[in-house]
């Protein structure tokens, strides 16, 4: 599907002006926030937005405040030209690609700290990560005041944090969460997959295998106490270090109150220097062993 190259806007005020002008004309605007290095997962979000909106804006901004001091901010892959080519094929009208100083002007001192769903898992292992995410998403929503924003379900905890913030601050934007896009062997698409050597790429399928195991045992009525060790075993079978493997409430991310669910299986693992996360929704069930 060929299309014209998206217009690149770097200035937040100018971006906001363009979006508001389109909306004043009665156009429905969709927004896909990204950190670039786009893959089929991002493309599916842009396509989904294009299906139900007249215009689509995609932001490409590697947000420094969501990376810890020993994380991969400097080496995070960046390729604006290839990203714009991909977005042209999906009918995206605008790319918002601000400089760091445009998002965080000198002297800025405000951060948005979300509690609740931000507390456990990524929040525990990556202190400050979700404050960085919430702050930048709020800033991006100011520059791109769209009708609806699209997020991938792969970052499940992030979607809960964004929803919480939007609700608590009364931000006037809808949030739509779209399914994870996977390689044929089940590995969830992620910009960080680019870090994997061919041998590591083969081992990375362990995350999907661990979630498949969780789903199998869940559907057999097995308890969380049985499922979580089995998830860790699936990771270890391919020499993937486990940061966490858990079955929890899909909204609060706290331990299940109702053992029949619904639930979410969450997994984070490290393969060499690459850290990947994934998840699978587990539907309500009627029997528990």
Annotated catalytic residue: which of 42, 129, 167, 260?
A: 42
Helix (H, G, I), strand (E, B) or coil at 268: strand
Comparing CB distances to ligand PAF, the nearer of 18 and 154 is 154
Strands 7-9 and 241-248: unpaired
- C-alpha–C-alpha distance, residues 212 and 232, integer Å: 12
The answer to whether the CB of 266 falls within 8 A of the CB of 214 is: no
- Site for ligand PAF contains 137 (CB under 6 A): yes
CB neighbours of 108 closer than 8 A, spacing ≥ 6?
Answer: none
The answer to whether the CB of 65 falls within 8 A of the CB of 38 is: no
Comparing CB distances to ligand PAF, the nearer of 171 and 212 is 171
Rounded to a whole number of angstroms, the minimum distance from the CB of residue 66 to ligand PAF is 6
Matching residue, tokens 């404050």 = 131
Comparing CB distances to ligand PAF, the nearer of 177 and 217 is 177
Rounded to a whole number of angstroms, the minimum distance from the CB of residue 256 to ligand PAF is 26
Binders of ligand PAF in range 57-86 (CB under 6 A): 63, 66
Rounded to a whole number of angstroms, the minimum distance from the CB of residue 51 to ligand PAF is 21
Binding segment (CB under 6 A) for ligand PAF, from list 10-18, 89-97, 131-139, 222-230: 131-139
Binders of ligand PAF in range 153-212 (CB under 6 A): 155, 158
The answer to whether the CB of 57 falls within 8 A of the CB of 32 is: yes
Two structure tokens written together for 285: 């069930």
CB neighbours of 164 closer than 8 A, spacing ≥ 6?
Answer: 114, 116, 117, 118
Rg of the chain (C-alpha set): 19
- Letters for 249-278 (x = contact with ligand PAF by CB under 6 A, - = none) are ------------------------------
CB neighbours of 206 closer than 8 A, spacing ≥ 6?
Answer: 234, 235, 237, 238, 240, 269
Binding segment (CB under 6 A) for ligand PAF, from list 32-40, 96-104, 170-178, 229-237: 32-40
- C-alpha–C-alpha distance, residues 13 and 27, integer Å: 19
Rounded to a whole number of angstroms, the minimum distance from the CB of residue 129 to ligand PAF is 9
Comparing CB distances to ligand PAF, the nearer of 135 and 210 is 135
Residue 106: phi and psi, rounded to 5, are: -50, 135
The answer, yes or no, to whether the previous bond of 262 is cis (omega within 30 of 0) is yes
Comparing CB distances to ligand PAF, the nearer of 150 and 244 is 150
Size of the site for ligand PAF (CB under 6 A): 10
Binders of ligand PAF in range 232-251 (CB under 6 A): none
42 is catalytic: yes
Spatial CA neighbour of 156 closest among 117, 189, 194: 117
Rounded to a whole number of angstroms, the minimum distance from the CB of residue 158 to ligand PAF is 6
Residues that bind ligand PAF (CB under 6 A): 33-35, 63, 66, 133, 136-137, 155, 158
Q: Give the active site residues.
A: 42
């Amino acid at each position: 599907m060929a299309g014209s190259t998206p217009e690149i806007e770097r200035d937040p005020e100018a971006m906001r002006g363009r979006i508001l002008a389109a909306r004043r004309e009665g156009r429905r605007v969709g927004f896909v926030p990204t950190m670039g290095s786009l893959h089929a997962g991002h493309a599916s979000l842009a396509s989904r937005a294009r299906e139900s909106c007249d215009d689509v804006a995609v932001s490409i901004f590697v947000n420094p405040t969501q990376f810890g001091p020993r994380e991969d901010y400097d080496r995070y892959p960046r390729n604006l030209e290839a990203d714009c080519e991909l977005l042209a094929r999906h009918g995206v009208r605008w790319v918002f690609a601000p400089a760091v100083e445009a998002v965080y002007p000198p002297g800025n001192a405000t951060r948005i700290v979300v509690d609740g769903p931000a507390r456990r898992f990524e929040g525990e292992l990556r202190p400050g990560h979700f404050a960085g995410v919430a702050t930048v998403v709020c800033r991006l929503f100011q520059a791109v005041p769209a009708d609806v924003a699209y997020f991938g379900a792969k970052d499940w905890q992030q979607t809960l944090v964004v929803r919480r913030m939007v609700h608590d601050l009364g931000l006037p934007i809808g949030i739509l969460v779209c399914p994870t896009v996977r390689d044929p062997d089940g590995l969830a698409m992620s910009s960080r997959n680019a870090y994997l050597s061919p041998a590591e790429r083969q081992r990375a399928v362990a995350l999907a295998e661990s979630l498949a195991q969780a789903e199998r045992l869940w559907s057999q009525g097995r308890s969380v106490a049985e499922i979580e060790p089995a998830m860790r075993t699936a990771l270890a079978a391919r020499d993937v270090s486990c940061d966490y493997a858990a079955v929890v409430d899909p909204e609060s991310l706290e331990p299940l109150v109702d053992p029949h669910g619904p639930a979410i299986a969450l997994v984070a693992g490290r393969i060499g220097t690459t850290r990947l996360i994934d998840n699978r929704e587990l539907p309500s069930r009627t029997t528990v062993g």
